Amino acid sequence: MTRGRRYALTFPGSPGAHAPQDVVVVEATGASGPGGHPVYADASGIVVAEISDLGEVRMLASGGHQSPQTPVHAEPLP
């Protein structure tokens, strides 16, 4: 997978609901995460993820009392 400056992260919908999946666009921050891979964040700074060059996603807490959900897909954007 080619490393991009932006990714669309797709999260599962609410369990038991017929709601669509949530998609959040994140951009490179210039920082590296605990695994040494680039860190990406959404415009609000709430959704923060480390994404490897293989497309593996590790969600990072951006504040206290968070338990971030892992996305089901990370798609590089142009």
Tens of pLDDT, residue by residue over 13-51, are 777 777 788 899 999 999 999 999 999 999 999 999 999
Cβ-count burial of 75 within 10 angstroms (0-12 exposed, 13-18 middle, 19+ buried)? Answer: middle
State the Cα–Cα distance between residues 76 and 1, nearest whole angstrom.
8
Give strand pairing partners of 58. Answer: 50
Q: Above pLDDT 70, what percent of the chain?
A: 95
**Cα(13)–Cα(20) distance, rounded to whole angstroms?**
6
The predicted model scores a pTM of: 0.84
